[in-house]
Structure 1
C-alpha cells in the first residue's frame, strides 16, 4: 500500500496537537514516491483509479477507495504494447476518461526538447486497470503547426466531445469525433490561453468553466517554480479571465497552489473529485523539500468562495481531514 504519511510530516503538521494516529486525517504526500501529472477516475467497481506520467513502469496505475490509501495495481502498457509513434519518447501526462462503455486514455509522447515531433495519442480498455490497447497517434505538433502539443485533456459539453492541450506555446482545443478517438475533420483549432501555461484541466460549475493550469518550471528539483493557477469563463472556449477580468490569453490568472517550506513545484492538477458530502478534492504533484528526488502525489481540498476556487492558504496542506465516502 502506497501512503506517504511519514512521522516527520506528522510532527510538523499537527499544530492543533492532534494524535498522529487520528484516522480522520491524512498527511501529504499521499504517495511518497514520484507520480507526476496525475489523472483520476472512479470505476464501476467503486474504486478510484489514478494514472501518472510514465516511469520505468509504462504508466503506473494505482487504486483507492478513499483517495488517501493507494495500492499499485499494474501499468497501462507493457514493454510490447506501449505506444511507439515517437520511438525514443516517453509517455507523459495521461488523461483518463469513460467514453461509452470504454475507458479512454489520452497521452502525450515526447522526448525532452522535442517540441515539434511530440504529439498526442489515445488508447482504450474495457476496465480501468487495463490492459490498454493503443490506437496510436492522433496528431503531432509538426502536423498541426502548433509547438509542444502535450498535456491532453478531454471534456464533454452540450453533447459534444472536445480535446484541449498545450505547453508554454498556448493552450488549444478542438472538437473530436463521436468515439473520441480522432480530431473532427475541419473542426477549428482555437487558442484559449497564452504561452505561460501547460497542464490543462477544465471544470464546469454553476454556469462557469474553470481553466486550471500550471505555470513555471516543473522539473528542476528544489528550484522548480511550478504553480497551479486558474481562470474562468462563461463559455468553454473562453474568454477565460482572472478576478479582475484580465484575459488568460494575455497570461493573467489567479494562483491556486503556490509553494511553502515543505513543498515546491506544485502543479499539473488532476480532475476534481467530490466526496459523499459534496466536498471537492484535487490531486497534483510537488517536490518535497525533505526528499526532493521526485515529484510526489499530493491531495488537497478545493473550496469555493464568490464563484472562485481556492485551497486553504494557497499552499499544500501538511495534515488535513480526510475525504468522506
Structure 2
C-alpha cells in the first residue's frame, strides 16, 4: 500500500502550504452506495467490452472485483495466480501496488508497481489481456524503474494518450509526480526518454503521489493524492487537481499556482465516516466520468473501502456528485 510513514509526522505542517480549493464543495459528497465486496485499496476500474465492470487494486496478487451494475461488487480473486519471478527483486513478498487498467489496440493493459515501503528501489510492470478479467493476464516485465540514486519513485502508474503519443504519469514522495513517454507497441518506456516533472510539495517528504491524468475539452487534468495514506482512521489522504493545455504540463490550479510550487485545488477530503480519501483513478461509463478511490471507514475500524462519485465538468474544473 502507498508509501511512507514519514508523512504522518509532517502532514499537519505541509497541509498549511496548500491553497484552498476554488472548485469543490467544502461539505464534500458522500460516495455512491455500493454493496457486496467493498474492501479495496487504490482502485482502478473499467467497463469491459463484454459488459460489466472490473476493478483491480493493491492487495493480493493485484486483487480483482467484478460488477454487473457498478453497485454490487463481488470478489474475483487476483489478476495473477502467482507473482512473476522478477517482482521479488523489489520486495520479498511479491506484493504489487496501485494498478492502472486501460484498453487500446484491441487489448487490455494493466500497469502496476512493485516496491517496498520507504524505498525508491521500485519498478513499474505491465501485462495484457484479451478480456480484462482476472486469470487472463500475460505479464511483459518491467516498463520503468527507479533506484536510490534517482530523485523520483517509479510507482503509482497512470497511462494516458495525447496527440498520438502514449505517456505514463507516476510517482510518490521523492519530489513528487513525474511523467515519461511510452512506446505504444511495447507499452514500455522509450529508452532515454526525458523524465518530466509535473507536481511536488514545497518541503520534504514531498507528500504527493498516485497521479491520474484525464483529457477533457481543451485541458489535461492532473489528479493526485496528497498527505498520508495507509493509517486507517489516522490517514490524511485527500485529492487535489490542476490542469494544463499540454499533457506534460505545466499544471496549475484555479488560482494559477503551479503544482510544482505546491498548488492544487482540493477536490475531495475526508468527511464524516469517509476518512483519508485518495488512491484515485477516473473511468468513463456511457458518456459519464466517474472517480474511483478508497476511503477508510471510521464506522468499521478504518477498513479501506470503495468510493465512487460522478464527475461534473460544468465549471471547467472537476466537481463531484
TM-score (norm 2): 0.82
Q: Is the alpha carbon distance of 1:187 and 1:220 closer, same or farther for their aligned partners in structure 2, counting shifts above 3 Å?
A: same
Match of 1:65 among 64, 68, 71: 68
Match of 2:311 among 289, 302, 316: 302
CA contact (8 A) 2:199 2:259 kept: yes
Match of 1:222 among 233, 236, 248: 233
The 5 A counterparts of 1:9-48 are 27-28=32-33, 30=35, 33-48=38-53
Match of 2:265 among 230, 235, 254: 254
Q: Please, what is the CA RMSD of the aligned residues?
A: 2.0
Q: Is the alpha carbon distance of 1:33 and 1:70 closer, same or farther for their aligned partners in structure 2, counting shifts above 3 Å?
A: closer
Aligned to 2:112: 107
CA contact (8 A) 2:34 2:73 kept: no
Q: Is the alpha carbon distance of 1:156 and 1:143 closer, same or farther for their aligned partners in structure 2, counting shifts above 3 Å?
A: farther
CA contact (8 A) 1:203 1:210 kept: yes
Aligned partners of 1:266 and 1:252: how far apart in 2? Answer: 18
Report the Cα offset of residue 294 of structure 1: 2.5
The one-character-per-residue Cα deviations of 1:169-188 (angstroms, maximum 9, x if unpaired) are 22111111122432112321
> Is residue 2:222 matched to residue 1:211?
yes
> Is residue 2:136 matched to residue 1:127?
no
CA contact (8 A) 1:209 1:234 kept: yes
Q: Is the alpha carbon distance of 1:118 and 1:185 closer, same or farther for their aligned partners in structure 2, counting shifts above 3 Å?
A: closer
Count of paired positions = 282
> Is residue 2:286 matched to residue 1:282?
no
Aligned partners of 2:226 and 2:151: how far apart in 1? Answer: 19
Aligned to 2:102: 97
For the residue of structure 2 that corresponds to 1:71, the secondary structure is: strand
Q: Which has the larger radius of gyration?
A: 1
Aligned partners of 1:114 and 1:196: how far apart in 2? Answer: 14
User: Using CA pairs below 8 Å that are at least 6 residues apart, which structure has the higher relative contact order?
Assistant: 2
Aligned partners of 1:166 and 1:80: how far apart in 2? Answer: 22
Aligned partners of 1:99 and 1:274: how far apart in 2? Answer: 16
Aligned to 2:275: 264
Structure 1: runs of 5 or more not aligned = 1-25, 313-325
The one-character-per-residue Cα deviations of 1:166-217 (angstroms, maximum 9, x if unpaired) are 0122211111112243211232111011134211111111111110111011
Aligned to 1:164: 169
For the residue of structure 2 that corresponds to 1:240, the secondary structure is: coil
Match of 1:86 among 87, 90, 106: 90
Report the Cα offset of residue 78 of structure 1: 1.4
TM-score (norm 1): 0.81
